[in-house]
Structure 1
Amino acid sequence: MKKILLLFFFGLFIPEISAQDYFPNNESVQNKNNNYTAFINAKIYITPTQIIEKGTLLIQNGKVIATGTAVSIPKNCLTVNLEGKSIYPSFIDIYTSFGIEPLKKGSDTERNPLYDTKRTGYYWNESIRSEVNAYDSFKYDQSKSEELLKAGFGVVGSHVQDGIARGTGILVALNNDNKSKRLLSDKISNHFSFTKSVNTNQSYPTSLMGSMALLRQLYLDENWYKNGNATTTDLSLKALIDNEKLVKIFTTEDKLNSLRASKLGKEFGFDYVLKGSGNEFERIEEIKKTNLKFIIPINFPEAYDVSNPYQADRMELADLRFWNQAPTNLKVLSDNGIVFALTTDKLKKTEDFRANLLKAIKYGFDSTKALESLTTTPASLVGKGNEIGNLKVGSTANFLITSGAIFDEKTILFENWVQGNKYVVNDINAKDIRGNYDLTIDKDVFKWTISGEINKPKSELTANSKKVNSKLAISNNWISVIVNPKDSSKTNFTRLTGFVEDLKNLSGKAVLYNGKEVKWSALKTAPFKEEVDSTAFQKANVIIPITYPNIAYGNTQKLVQETLLFKNATVWTNEKDGILKDTDVLVKNGKIVTIGKNISDASAKIIDATGKHLTSGIIDEHSHIAISKGVNEAGHNSSAEVTIQDVVNSEDINIYRDLAGGVTISQLLHGSANPIGGRSAIVKWRWGLSAEEMLYKDQPKFIKFALGENVKQANWGIKDPTRFPQTRMGVEQVFTDYFQRAKEYDASWKDYNSNGKKGKTKAPRVDLELQTLVEILNQERFITCHSYVQSEILMMMNVAEKFNFRVNTFTHILEGYKVADNMKAHGVGASTFSDWWAYKFEVNDAIPYNGALLHNQGVVVAYNSDDAEMSRRLNQEAAKAVKYGNISEEEAWKFVTLNPAKLLHIDDKVGSVKVGKDADLVLWNNNPLSIYAKAEKTMIDGVVYFDIQKDEAQRLSITKERNELIGQLLQEKVKGTPLQEPNKKEKVEYNCDTLEQ
């Protein structure tokens, strides 16, 4: 029994012993070398900007002892003459997974997703892994370290790249000779991302907005826990608190995610270091405004093989552009004063790092900045600026010895010294034997050309103008050659060896194919002439200018407000004046300032609107376009804590298409995967601006609820239906339970605010989900509820009245005509489809007269899209109200303008053509309800974001640009550049029930 207990106790400590094995701290077993080494006559880069010509670097015990031009060299010092050579600090990569075994998705032992964690003592979500320390699972990777050493790196940061809170990283020196000194810090950084752990079956989060909400809740819980309010121990929160002073590195992998992470950090009063993606140049103004530091990969995309025109046509212009523009990213970042380090992350091969960096320099990136981004900057980011990344006195002796300027294409890296230990990359004493020779082996004579690199020469033998197979190697100036002079199909090999002494006359011993030993000699007849690589010195490709956004139909510059005067238009006011003929409308400073006849303004640009129709912009009350990484947070039956405002995608081409269809405002709704969904975003489609600039200012608060088949998972397939609720009556219970919890939560805070601050009780935990539901109870947030069946519509109104609030809008509401009187009495509006029916079981009773019947009952009715394609033709959807129900044209037009504005509580600013309202206007070439109507101009706040004439010009420009880029790519193929197959990225168009992991 004692043996069993002893083995069990020993087993508990195996992981730590394993990690310690790679960083032993018992230096008594190490042989200490206290000798000095002096490197003299070198060009020394103490820092990227502090340079010494013909200087001396003195090191001892892995440290820099002195640098300068008048260094006193101690006796018995090993002196290395580096005349004509250069010394640089070794590179640092603070973002790697070096020595960490890649995590694989755990075996799916359970058929269904997990909703509650099975871990005890840790945070409730398994993607929060802040207690993980890379040190505990680290194993030094000798093979990978050699790859990095050859690329010039001496120190790397490493962490477990899994989860949303990923735990701490370590800092390791790539010292292959002395493992006791490798570990520079067992906790150097704290890591975060938006990507859930691959090692969990837990469902939540299923979306980017869910990841963001989880991080918000985590930081709130951290503060609550730190203040002593918890009654149990949470090891994840404890680790987060213990490590809060470490540099926080956030993996964003996209420019828009970088902006999101920046906003999140600033909410809680700290700055992340952002690990970016290489596309920051596309949003450089917003990136600059973050005032954050970055870690940037340089995994530029390979050129595309566009020789097949059918395959080339599959390529998006944005992808062609990115190939062209990506090499400028580092220059753009640097020119804008953004501090960044470089990383090898995402490279297929470590050896590609140098080639890509040289390419960036070719495209204008300053070489001094390049050196900073690999030395002083990463050292500073992790708080080690006084120890690594420079060759100042007292710093660690990590340095490179090169043949010349480190970022010159012809420069050779000879040695990489880490902590005073030498790693040989190329023989520094190698003699250059390249050239043309007359080779004699016994009595046989050959023409011999030696080319290639000094340390990797290539052999080319000919006899009587016929090529003879040969292979040459050189090491420590010993030549080894294998020759097959007789018959390449047989094993008739002759072996040559010799030591290089006289570069004009090489000689040595040869063993012939028959075993006979003879002498060989090679007399140099001509020096080596290096072939000029025609591709190496070619000019950089012409760079396509950035647009906003940087895709097709982007703007070449930010658009501005104009003073515009529309003359002689047919104006659909949506006000008591109705439709006005031959009327002028003056727009100034983003507002409608005058409506009438014979208006004049000397500062205005005149637009002849004779025979045309001017309306307020279309408002789509229910849209799912322009959302990043998931429209549903389906991990729980309530996700009130998430918000679409976090994930607006300002670069979705559907925005431009909406503008072309006259849409100026949309409510971006969470999907219908759960009874209580996420919070909405009301946006103005300011094409080319950032997501933050698209958000409607001071917008009313909305949230998406849902009823029916989707939330009870009737159509989710065989694997997923496990989450409560599974029935329509269960849906009602979800609402009742959550609102009751919200009431109790609100009461607990009121009690604390009355008594707790006096020290009588501990503070309740801030719960973002319940906090949002309290806003509904307090009538500070409005519900848009996905609905179909009359029984559930009545149920939802009953629940609301039970808790003393009102549902704002029933969306879809295809059985609304059955309960129109009840809806009118409740005070709820309807945002419906014009003529959808029978696309699933619960809409079998839908009729196209639904909107008209609801309208006639006095319910505020809007038509919505819920569909990326339909949203660009909502004007035609409005016309269906005329066909189905004999609604007047004027009232039908309100279904997509004023009525949705009323439902969104923004009708005081938009939705009609009225003096003082926002200048969100559309000029149509025909009656807007006509199928022949086209939007000629769409403006928002007096800025024209769509112009049909500009659109025509852009189409021609896009064709010209594609041809230019395809020409550049064809040239890459001619040059023999590595190519990749063209590919078309299939974009998911969201609707209510889209689930995307």
Structure 2
Amino acid sequence: MKRNIMLLAGATMLAACAAQGGEAKSASAAPKSSKPAPGKGKGFDHNPFPSTYRVYPGVPTLITNVTILDGEGARIDNGAVLFRDGKVVALGQQIAAPEGATVIDGRGKWVTPGIIDVHSHLGDYPTPAVQAHSDGNEATGPVTAEVWAEHSVWPQDPGFSRALANGGVTTLQILPGSANLFGGRSVTLKNVYARTMQGMKFPGAPYGLKMACGENPKRVYGAKGRIPSTRMGNVAVDRQTWAKAQEYDRKWDKYEEEGGDAPSRDIQMDTLRGVLDGEILVHNHCYRADEMAVVMDMAKEFGYKVRAFHHAVESYKIADLLKANEACSAVWADWWGFKMESYDAIGENLAILDKEGACAMIHSDDANGIQRLNQEIAKVVKSAERAGIAISKERAWTWVGINAARALGVDQMTGSLRPGKMADIVLWNGDPFSIYTRPERVWIDGALMFDANNPKMRPVSDFELGQPGEGDVK
């Protein structure tokens, strides 16, 4: 417990330093709306839960003599990267160290952008995994678009620090569960220590809407003797709900254009209106190719887009359709067979999508898997190699780099090592495609958040086992 208190105190002190003398917010909170409801095209300035995220203070840092994967498909051997004031400044092979910079000789090591996981439930299903902590699925009705995942996020979940230290994860999307057709809003977080979820919220990131198709909704609600109990029931409830959302959208459009009495506010429909207006991104749990095709047809009917299908084990069957509809696929390397809709999976799924020019990425959906996404990438590369598909390491890293950032709508801010972008950086102690490689240091916005060589910067909690001889951090 003493170690927990010290860690929380340290995080609080850093946050306070940042608020007083550190950098400014990465993005300013939007002003409050002058009307009592979401304004079309106003970026959801009605949000009553704005980000209070502040960049932790860092120091100018130059890493030299490393292999760099930039997250957009390029590689620099014997490279260097310079960052300061929370941003990447330069990368190349010969970079002069500015006065006062910390210089790290990374000979034999690799540098990548921080890993982005587009599908996580950390904080909503935290450790320890007991019923009292199970807050990720409002499974009381097939349509719960009114709930927001962020309102269940517990910032003290030790899964966050494990993902940071063991997996190099710097950004992650927290989604509601998949019992519902409309599960509610997702939230994108920076993987920093904070006392509140607002202190973790990625500034300027759009919200997502979690949807689901297939076995989960029809099983959960069919078992209760209500619709949906079939796949056609799933789609019927979806279409009925979108039709209601369109009517709600039209009423508010008319009010905003012509004035008069404001329509009644509906928190559930606010979220769906945000999707119809292009301000909230749809992330759809879906396994089978035929169902993904149906969902894309439904999206055209009601005038929205699916940003990404998650799990998507049969995406390889419809890579051309996904590319044409600009729908990404977030997939596993080799999870399959745990229910009927997951049986037709292949290890080359992601590689085929990439080869065909469709947007694709690795995701975890698991508190353990999020700690090894680099190894999941390596599995896909090997599966592709056996199938005769050559995927370079620099290309493969886009699956947790720029592709994942695009799926979350934050690619202008993170996802790759480019001057001006957030300095979300991992220094690996070897080739990250090896099972023996671990993060050595992790920076978020240029602030050192994890250092394997510094016992005081290792994550600790009541649920961790220390190394023999380790006691309280002094």
Report the TM-score range of the alignment, normalised by the length of the smaller protein: 0.7 to 0.9
Q: Is 1:579 aligned to residue 83 of structure 2?
A: no
Residue 593 of structure 1 is matched in structure 2 by 89
1:885-904 counterparts in 2 under 5 A? 885-886=384-385, 887-904=391-408
Aligned CA distance change for structure 1 residues 679 and 953 (closer, same or farther; 3 Å): closer
Q: CA deviation at 1:633?
A: 1.2
Q: Which residue of structure 2 aligns with residue 97 of structure 1?
A: none
Q: Do the aligned partners of 2:114 and 2:425 also contact (CA within 8 Å) in 1?
A: yes
TM-score, with structure 2 as normaliser = 0.82
Q: 2:341 maps to what in 1?
A: 842
Residue 93 of structure 2 is aligned to residue 634 of structure 1: no
Cross-structure match for 1:227:
none
* CA deviations over 1:436-459 (Å, ceiling 9, x no partner): xxxxxxxxxxxxxxxxxxxxxxxx
Q: Which has the higher strand share?
A: 1
2:451 and 2:194 map into 1 onto residues whose CA distance is 14
What's the counterpart of residue 803 of structure 1?
302
C-alpha contact (below 8 Å) 1:935/1:948 kept by paired residues: yes
Other-structure match for 2:202: 696
Structure 1 position 612 matched with structure 2 position 109: yes
**Aligned residue number for residue 483 of structure 1:** none
Distance in structure 2 (CA, Å) of the matches to 1:698 and 1:739: 26
Distance of aligned partners of 1:842 and 1:750 in 2 relative to their CA distance in 1, 3 Å threshold: same
Partner of 1:478: none
Structure 1 position 929 matched with structure 2 position 433: yes
Cα offset for 1:787?
Answer: 0.3
Q: 1:959 to 1:843 in 2, by over 3 A?
A: same
Residue by residue, what CA displacement relative to the aligned partner does 1:103-149 show, whole Å, maximum 9, x if unpaired? xxxxxxxxxxxxxxxxxxxxxxxxxxxxxxxxxxxxxxxxxxxxxxx
- SS of the equivalent of 1:703 reads strand
Aligned to 1:681: 187
Closer/same/farther in 2, CA of residues 956 and 872 from structure 1, 3 Å limit: closer
Other structure's SS at 2:218 match:
coil
Post-superposition offset of 1:709: 0.9
Letter of the 2:106 partner, please give it: A
Offset of residue 691 of structure 1:
2.0
Is 1:859 aligned with 2:366?
Answer: no
Structure 2 Cα separation of the partners of residues 586 and 953 of structure 1: 22
Q: 1:859: Cα distance to partner?
A: 0.8
How far residue 951 of structure 1 moved from its aligned partner, in angstroms, is: 3.7
Does the CA contact (< 8 Å) of 1:548 and 1:557 recur in 2?
Answer: no
What is the letter of the counterpart of residue 858 of structure 1?
A: G
Q: Residue 648 and residue 958 in structure 1: after superposition, are their counterparts in 2 closer, same or farther (change >3 A)?
A: farther
Structure 1 residues 289-368: aligned runs within 5 Å: 318=1, 321=2
1:836-871 superposed Cα distances (whole Å, 9 cap, x missing partner): 111111111111111111112211110000000000
Matched, 1:708 2:214: yes
Q: Is the 8 A contact 1:702 1:784 kept in 2?
A: yes
- Number of equivalenced pairs: 411
The aligned residue for residue 771 of structure 1 is: 270
User: Which residues in structure 2 correspond to 1:268-667 (within 5 Å)?
Assistant: 318=1, 321=2, 546-549=5-8, 557-558=13-14, 560-575=57-72, 578-596=74-92, 597-627=94-124, 629-660=134-165, 661-667=167-173
Q: Cα 1:763–1:953, aligned 2, differ >3 Å: closer, same or farther?
A: closer
Q: For residue 909 of structure 1, what is the aligned residue in structure 2?
A: 413
Partner of 1:919: 423
Give runs of ≥4 in structure 1 deviating > 3 Å: 554-557, 750-756, 951-959
Distance in 1, matches of 2:245 and 2:196, equals 34
In structure 2, relative to structure 1, the CA distance for the partners of 1:600 and 1:926 (3 Å cut) is same
Q: Secondary structure at the match of 2:376?
A: helix
The 5 Å alignment of 1:937-956 reads 937-951=441-455, 955=466
- Partner AA of 2:69 in structure 1: W
5 Å matches for 1:982-993? none
1:102 aligned residue: none
Question: What is the distance in 2 between the residues matched to 1:710 and 1:881?
Answer: 27
- Output the CA distance in 2 between the equivalents of 1:712 and 1:672: 11
Structure 1 residue 913: Cα displacement: 1.2
Amino acid paired to 1:622? H
1:631 Cα deviation after fit: 0.6
C-alpha deviation, 1:687, in angstroms: 2.2
Q: Secondary structure at the match of 1:546?
A: helix
Equivalent-residue separation in structure 1 for 2:469 and 2:448 (angstroms): 20
After superposition, residues 172-321 of structure 1 pair within 5 angstroms as 318=1, 321=2
Q: Distance in 1 between matches of 2:332 and 2:241?
A: 30
Deviation readout 1:445-502 (Å, 9 max, x if unpaired): xxxxxxxxxxxxxxxxxxxxxxxxxxxxxxxxxxxxxxxxxxxxxxxxxxxxxxxxxx
Q: For residue 713 of structure 1, what is the amino acid of its counterpart?
A: R
Q: Which amino acid aligns with 2:294?
A: M
User: What's 1:90 paired with?
Assistant: none
Equivalent residues of 1:616, 1:912 under 8 A apart: yes
8 Å CA contact 2:326–2:359 kept in 1: the answer is no
Structure 2 distance, partners of 1:665, 1:754, is 38
Classify the secondary structure of the residue corresponding to 1:549: helix
Displacement after TM superposition at 1:644 (Å): 1.4
**Highest RCO, 1 vs 2 (Cα 8 Å, sep ≥ 6):** 2
CA contact (8 A) 2:72 2:402 kept: no
Equivalent pair of 1:584/1:598 in contact (CA under 8 Å): yes
Confirm or deny that 1:789 pairs with 2:288: yes
Q: Over aligned residues, Cα RMSD in angstroms?
A: 2.3
User: Residue 650 of structure 1 contacts residue 688 of structure 1 at CA under 8 Å; is this kept in 2?
Assistant: yes
How far residue 645 of structure 1 moved from its aligned partner, in angstroms, is 2.1
TM-score (norm 1): 0.40
Verify the 8 A CA contact 2:178 2:212 in the aligned structure 1: yes
Q: 1:884 to 1:957 in 2, by over 3 A?
A: closer
Pairing partner for 2:237 from 734, 742, 746: 734
Q: 1: distance between equivalents of 2:224 and 2:332?
A: 28
Confirm or deny: 8 A CA contact 1:547 1:557 kept in the other structure.
no
Question: Aligned letter for 2:352?
Answer: L
> Contact (CA 8 Å) 1:591, 1:916: kept in 2 or not?
yes
Give the structure with higher Rg (CA).
1
Distance in 2 between residues matched to 1:545 and 1:831, nearest whole Å: 34
Partner amino acid for 2:431? N
Structure 1 pair 677–693 and aligned structure 2 pair: CA distance change class (3 A) = same
